[in-house]
Structure 1
Amino acid sequence: MAKYTPEQIHNVALVGHGAVGKTSLADLLLHKAGIASKPGSVDAGTSLLDTEEDEKHHKHSIFSSLIHFDHHGRRINLFDTPGYPEFIGQVIGALRSVETAVITISAPAGIEVNTRRVFAEADKADVGKFIVLNKLDHDNVNFIELLASIQDMFGRGCVPFNLPIGLGANFSGVYDTLNPPDSIPDGLPMNPHDVSQMVMDSIVEADEELMERYLNDEKLTKDEINHGVAHAVAEGSLIPVFCMSVEKNVGVDEFLNSIADYADSPIDVHQTAFNSDGENIDLQPDPNGPLLAQIVKTRIDPFVARLSYIRVYSGTLKKESSVHASGVEKPLKLPQLLEVQGAHQEPVNEAGPGYIVAVAKVEDLHMGDTLTDTDKCPRLPKITFPTPMIGLAVEPKSRSDQQKISGALHKIEEEDSTFHVSRDDQTKEMVMTGLSELHLKLIEERLKAREKVEIITHQPKVPYRETVVGAAEGSYRHKKQSGGSGQFAEVHLRVAGLPQGIEPEEYFTKDRFSSMRSYHYDPELNFAFIDRVTGGSVPNNFIPAVEKGVIERMKKGVLAGYQVQDVSCELFFGKDHPVDSNETAFKMAAGYCFRDVFQKAKPNLLEPIVALEVTVPDDKLGDITSDLNSRRGRVEGMEGLSGGYQIIHAKAPLAEVMTYARALSSMTGGQGSFTMDLSHYEPVPPNEQQKIVSAATHATDEDE
């Protein structure tokens, strides 16, 4: 590995909608750097970045891929990322690793759904932005309208650093607007002098000293202009726009030179960490400083197993060194460091600030973990991802794969932070959740191709909850005699609804619960078990068994087989037998008693409500709001976006939007997008509750 200082490194992520040419551009850059004898091809399956079998089959990226090359004495580390919304997690991880996002747009298609999404993610990651307009050699390109739409959507700071010479089949080169040549070619879509003026105005606006000198007609040196560009890009006030055709290899060299000249290095953008007191700390990319690095990607490689990609921010990471990882108590011994080039790795001895390397087969490293010299060092912010909300229940097609399926799904979960797999305690279903139906379909394909596991999927049961809105009390005597010692226990319980948002110390007092001796509170379920036994009617050693019996019954549900929440249960009386009473008897009596009393306390079903943010074109606003209303949704507000789009903020029952992606795509012609997160639970309307209860399969007790 050549030794580069932090100021000589540029970390870049290619982001954008699908099929705009990001991977083809990365393959071409590898060829230009002399790493590939000829450019790889996505269509031919020879790309050096799309190497997974499912990527070759679908002819688009599914995973982010890291490459590196040298240019003009600079080290460029480049992440190529997928372009479809299902894979936004790969984009988020890459953006946390870099200083510059290159937002790639297909000139004929213009701004697409995921163009807006990746721009917003780049804003969240606080990285500088370039825009690349690819496919200017294709038909149906109106450069002036395209630039206007970009400036309308993303701001007037988006200015062309070059102009196309000709369009469509006549696209033959680019005209440099920052360092204009003496002669002006034919075929430019805009007045080059006006554009050059626009470029210089955008550069100096971010620097008062440059602005003053520029207004006084002082000559600025090339180095001063380059520094001004880098500063304005880092500030976010300038977004250079570059024109190219990857297919024709036009404008690519000019773009590559601009990365080396203008893109920020780690020395320009200091990462923020926080200490044990939660105070923010500005990190310096000092190779001799304390080690601070982060896991930014996990990949399951069929040959080297688990690969953890590490971005170094401070200090120097060395092979076979010991590090502390957040969430791991013991120090970890790292094996050989690896330099990654697509699907290939080469061993290296060390990596300083700005480098992105990998280690293999370290099972305790997970996405977002901070790596440090000691456990006293600062920590980097966790990398946050959208919550997967679209679920499918899954089971193996073959019984012989029953043991294999869980491990296979958890491998995928390690690679993809927007995918989750769990087993529902209530329904006993294994449920996989992702960002869309397509996301889960691709997971299913990967299981079959990589792990040789075929699965059957169906819609999972909605995770309803049960509660009561009233209060009731009652008793149950459990008595069993079958020769020898028997079983005997009697418990008296009171069950009542428990308001959400209570402060336990203030709520559970003897003024409210007479004779209260103690209580146990579960904040996750908003459940309290209260011991009000007096006179030893239930011996102290059996009271935990009563609580356990209640909790086990709550897990099974009473009304329709769903977890119970938002209730209090008071044990206030009981009876025992000196010989036949035991923990099992009291646990069973408590479960049956809770079931009976719960049914008398006005039971109610609760349903999960999700918060939706739906982005739609202005002309589809009425259709979308009407559809949300038909799904029992509540529109809570709207937010206008530039470029003719609106964001609708709404809440709706999860049961009504489990297949919303398909419906939204149909209503908006593929131009709509949405995010969804769990908001809260609220009562199911009576007519809906009756349908759910009637359709539910009840778990039966032994004596029912």
Structure 2
Amino acid sequence: MANLTTENIRNVALVGHGAAGKTTLADLLLFKTGVATRAGSVDDGSSLLDTDDEEKARQSTVSSSLVQFDHGGKHVQLFDTPGFPDFIGQMIGALAATETAVVVISAGAGIEVNTRRAFDAAGTAGLGRMILINKCDMDNVQFDSLVEEIQKVFGRGCVPLNVPVGTGDSFNGVVSTLEVPDSIPDGVEIDPTDVNQALMDAIVDADEELMERYLEGEELSTAELSKGVGKAIAAGTLIPILSASSKTGVGVDEFLEVMVNCALAPSDLSRTMTAAEDDEVAIDPADDSLVAQVFKTRIDPFVSKMSFIRVFSGTLKKDSSVQVPRLGKAVKIGQLISVNGAEQEGVDEAVAGRIVALVKMEDLKVGDTLAADSDVSLPAIEFPRPMVGLAVEPKSQADQTKISGALQKIEDEDPTFLINREAQTKEMVMMGMSELHLQVIEARLSSRDKVEVVTHEPKIPYRETVNGAHEGSYRHKKQTGGAGQFAEVHFRVSGLPQELGDPEEYFTKSRFEGMRSFHYDPKTNYAFIDRVTGGSVPNNFIPAVEKGIRERMEQGVIAGYQVQDCACELFFGKDHPVDSNETAFKTAANRCFSEVFKQANPVLLEPIVQMEITVPDEKLGDITSDLNTRRGRMEGMDNAGSGLQVVKAKAPLSEVINYSRSLSSMTGGQGSFSYEISHYEPMPPQEQTRVVAASKRTVVEDA
């Protein structure tokens, strides 16, 4: 569109569950508005939106796509987003750049898991919302029942703006409930006249002037009410329900008109930013000062890294310099790219409301603010934490050199994907939203980055400690001709409480008689205590003793896991004037610690996670019963609204490492969860025996 201004831009995201027809709808809109010469198809791989090889193979969207078209004097920037929860990060990023969300529901499937999540996410972001009941041409569609379900789950503000004429093969049109015709066609399940009153109530609730005139009995014109629809959507008093079939095209023209005329303008949504001295101020799209944000990153095989930017105020110009507060410096903007599906075009500037991409800006990350002033920043975009992990390693030596860079690229472009390098298990673990999410990433590594990997379930980071205390000694003596090795150390090993408090108050001479000094490591809650008297261990060898103990702790004693929550007291030893050296004392300390530890009632500790599980009300009993079988402990429940409950519980990590799969099975894909490690607890004896046996080390029974 020539003379593109902020006032005529409309940013819209198509959201909802998978297979609701969002991509087919977007392809049809491109055709109807003249962008495409034919309507693309997901089925035959001709879609202008699902262009990724993985999307074509799966015939479903895995990454958000941006398309643009002009209609009715408006410039629409439209996002098609993935419908499955596995790729929810792509939807969240798109919502951060838009003012209006269209929640697409399949007429045959009804409300599904991602329908709820998309609806709630858009509401939390303060966006205007519309609902499109798509696929009204399917057999056995009960439109009236579906509307009742929508109103029950999402509220009475959801009101049909039009209703279908017929269903299945007989679906041939829609009837407005705002401007009700004199004659209602056959095949209409819901009388438009019955809906008209609820629609008018929702409209006037958002406009005091209309409300006063309406209450005084004045008849409101259709033009006034039509204009009021957009205002009511912006105010949240109305969430219009529309009907269509993206397959046959019936109802799509009517949907297009409503979307273009009633979607929120950039100035209709109140957004805030943090300014100098942490003051929260409103963003004015008419302000000349630049404020923009990176909401998506894509690794393009031709132009490398692309950072998608939404401009909220001011104008972003090519070849300019802008401040990036996170980096604490200005960066030079090169070329600006306007993206329309797979098509890219250079532009000179982007006004407020515009969405453009920057290329080869390697320092930028999703969530970064770009601004004229270094003191301002936009709120971070909140993405869910990935909960499903797979250990990953290169398949060959050739893959070894490429794997880190390839995984880093994916981490840059997907905020719901993380790479953890586990210090204890020495594993590289990739974390995603689900097994499917990780499968897609593995396929992308192979097809795009030419890296083949092997994956397996990650090891559980158990820990070792002692429940008791024991004293013992070890003499290391080695003579091979010439100078030999000699060192003797005497240790006392005991357990420490996890909630130790202030080390200076805990490690005192009254508690540890004869203590000369102590060294405390808060990461492992371990203390080395020097109680040597009379120089039985020369001071210059004591650091070697400490090093030998730490090496043994890292290697583990009974099962190969890091030792924590214990103290080791060095209280006596012997040396030799010729044969003693640092190596001898380090070796003696290593072996002494191992032997004394084994006699101090050693136990394995397992990580306990704090869980939050969101499930439909009717699945609550199944979830609580299942948690009991996983040694879980219920801690409470919260009502999350929309027929959902949030269960709070603690459980061993080993019992929920594959919880995503089980939860999906129990809830039909309608559940979600998150967890984080809370603390460590001793394992039950039978579980400890199993883990120790699996480690192929000596089994140490819990006394």
Q: Give the equivalent residue in structure 1 for 2:135.
A: 135
1:19-418 matched pairs, under 5 angstroms: 19-220=19-220, 225=225, 228-275=228-275, 277-289=277-289, 291-375=290-374, 377-418=375-416
Quick one: structure 1 residues 268 and 590, their matched pair in 2 at CA, closer, same or farther if it must change by over 3 Å? farther
Q: Secondary structure at the match of 1:115?
A: helix
Quick one: structure 1 residues 575 and 345, their matched pair in 2 at CA, closer, same or farther if it must change by over 3 Å? farther
What displacement does 1:354 show?
1.7
Quick one: structure 1 residues 354 and 462, their matched pair in 2 at CA, closer, same or farther if it must change by over 3 Å? same
When structure 1 is superposed on structure 2, of 31-40 and 495-504 the one drifting more is: 495-504
The CA distance in 2 between the partners of 1:542 and 1:2, in whole Å, is 80
Deviations 1:535-592 (A, max 9, x none): 8777777666655554443332223112333345556666777887766666555544
The CA distance in 2 between the partners of 1:154 and 1:535, in whole Å, is 78
Q: Does the CA contact (< 8 Å) of 2:503 and 2:520 recur in 1?
A: no
Q: Does the CA contact (< 8 Å) of 1:287 and 1:316 recur in 2?
A: no
Q: Secondary structure at the match of 1:50?
A: coil
Q: Among residues 445, 448, 451, which one is paired with 1:447 in the alignment?
A: 445
Question: In the alignment, residue 658 of structure 1 is paired with which amino acid?
Answer: I
Are residues 1:561 and 2:557 paired? no
The CA distance in 2 between the partners of 1:490 and 1:231, in whole Å, is 84
Q: Does the CA contact (< 8 Å) of 2:388 and 2:660 recur in 1?
A: no
What displacement does 1:154 show?
0.9
Question: In the alignment, residue 90 of structure 1 is paired with which amino acid?
Answer: Q
What displacement does 1:482 show?
5.8
Q: Does the CA contact (< 8 Å) of 1:149 and 1:643 recur in 2?
A: no
Q: Among residues 665, 671, 674, which one is paired with 1:673 in the alignment?
A: 671
Instruction: State the number of aligned residues.
Output: 696
The CA distance in 2 between the partners of 1:66 and 1:373, in whole Å, is 26
Q: Give the equivalent residue in structure 1 for 2:701.
A: none
Quick one: structure 1 residues 530 and 217, their matched pair in 2 at CA, closer, same or farther if it must change by over 3 Å? farther
Between the aligned residues of both structures, percent identity stands at: 60
What displacement does 1:473 show?
5.1
Quick one: structure 1 residues 578 and 378, their matched pair in 2 at CA, closer, same or farther if it must change by over 3 Å? farther
Q: Give the equivalent residue in structure 2 for 1:427.
A: 425
Question: In the alignment, residue 52 of structure 2 is paired with which amino acid?
Answer: E
Question: In the alignment, residue 150 of structure 2 is paired with which amino acid?
Answer: I
What displacement does 1:169 show?
1.5
When structure 1 is superposed on structure 2, of 464-473 and 449-458 the one drifting more is: 464-473
What displacement does 1:114 show?
1.6
Quick one: structure 1 residues 623 and 401, their matched pair in 2 at CA, closer, same or farther if it must change by over 3 Å? same
Quick one: structure 1 residues 685 and 195, their matched pair in 2 at CA, closer, same or farther if it must change by over 3 Å? same
Q: Does the CA contact (< 8 Å) of 1:614 and 1:675 recur in 2?
A: yes
The CA distance in 2 between the partners of 1:519 and 1:231, in whole Å, is 69
Q: Secondary structure at the match of 2:83?
A: coil
What displacement does 1:426 show?
2.5
The CA distance in 2 between the partners of 1:506 and 1:203, in whole Å, is 67
Question: In the alignment, residue 114 of structure 2 is paired with which amino acid?
Answer: N
The CA distance in 2 between the partners of 1:333 and 1:584, in whole Å, is 55
Deviations 1:356-379 (A, max 9, x none): 21111222112222223354x222
Q: Does the CA contact (< 8 Å) of 1:135 and 1:244 recur in 2?
A: yes
Q: Secondary structure at the match of 1:331?
A: strand
When structure 1 is superposed on structure 2, of 42-51 and 325-334 the one drifting more is: 325-334
What displacement does 1:262 show?
2.1
What displacement does 1:513 show?
5.7
Question: In the alignment, residue 116 of structure 1 is paired with which amino acid?
Answer: R
The CA distance in 1 between the partners of 2:326 and 2:497, in whole Å, is 34
Deviations 1:651-671 (A, max 9, x none): 332222333333344444x34
Q: Give the equivalent residue in structure 2 for 1:702.
A: none
The CA distance in 2 between the partners of 1:232 and 1:351, in whole Å, is 29
1:552-631 matched pairs, under 5 angstroms: 552-569=551-568, 587-616=586-615, 620-631=619-630
Quick one: structure 1 residues 494 and 379, their matched pair in 2 at CA, closer, same or farther if it must change by over 3 Å? farther
The CA distance in 2 between the partners of 1:30 and 1:463, in whole Å, is 51
The CA distance in 1 between the partners of 2:317 and 2:540, in whole Å, is 57
What displacement does 1:152 show?
0.9
The CA distance in 1 between the partners of 2:210 and 2:342, in whole Å, is 45
The CA distance in 1 between the partners of 2:511 and 2:224, in whole Å, is 73
What displacement does 1:512 show?
5.4
Unaligned stretches of 5+ residues in structure 1: 700-704
State the Cα RMSD in Å: 3.2
TM normalised by structure 1 equals 0.89
Deviations 1:26-66 (A, max 9, x none): 11111122111111111110111100101001100011111
When structure 1 is superposed on structure 2, of 531-540 and 658-667 the one drifting more is: 531-540
Quick one: structure 1 residues 689 and 346, their matched pair in 2 at CA, closer, same or farther if it must change by over 3 Å? same
TM normalised by structure 2 equals 0.89
Q: Does the CA contact (< 8 Å) of 1:274 and 1:379 recur in 2?
A: yes
Q: Does the CA contact (< 8 Å) of 1:15 and 1:91 recur in 2?
A: yes
The CA distance in 2 between the partners of 1:18 and 1:118, in whole Å, is 11
When structure 1 is superposed on structure 2, of 679-688 and 242-251 the one drifting more is: 679-688
1:448-487 matched pairs, under 5 angstroms: 448-472=446-470, 474=472
Question: In the alignment, residue 465 of structure 1 is paired with which amino acid?
Answer: R
What displacement does 1:244 show?
0.8
What displacement does 1:338 show?
1.1
The CA distance in 2 between the partners of 1:578 and 1:236, in whole Å, is 85
The CA distance in 1 between the partners of 2:9 and 2:531, in whole Å, is 68
The CA distance in 1 between the partners of 2:282 and 2:609, in whole Å, is 37
Deviations 1:327-367 (A, max 9, x none): 43543223211111122321112223222211112221122
Quick one: structure 1 residues 457 and 275, their matched pair in 2 at CA, closer, same or farther if it must change by over 3 Å? same
The CA distance in 1 between the partners of 2:65 and 2:59, in whole Å, is 15
What displacement does 1:521 show?
5.4
The CA distance in 2 between the partners of 1:621 and 1:248, in whole Å, is 40
Are residues 1:635 and 2:634 paired? yes
Q: Does the CA contact (< 8 Å) of 1:426 and 1:561 recur in 2?
A: no
When structure 1 is superposed on structure 2, of 421-430 and 543-552 the one drifting more is: 543-552
Deviations 1:227-267 (A, max 9, x none): 64344333433211111111111222222222222222221
Quick one: structure 1 residues 502 and 326, their matched pair in 2 at CA, closer, same or farther if it must change by over 3 Å? farther
Q: Give the equivalent residue in structure 2 for 1:658.
A: 657
The CA distance in 1 between the partners of 2:580 and 2:286, in whole Å, is 69
Question: In the alignment, residue 307 of structure 1 is paired with which amino acid?
Answer: M
Q: Give the equivalent residue in structure 2 for 1:13.
A: 13
The CA distance in 2 between the partners of 1:250 and 1:73, in whole Å, is 23
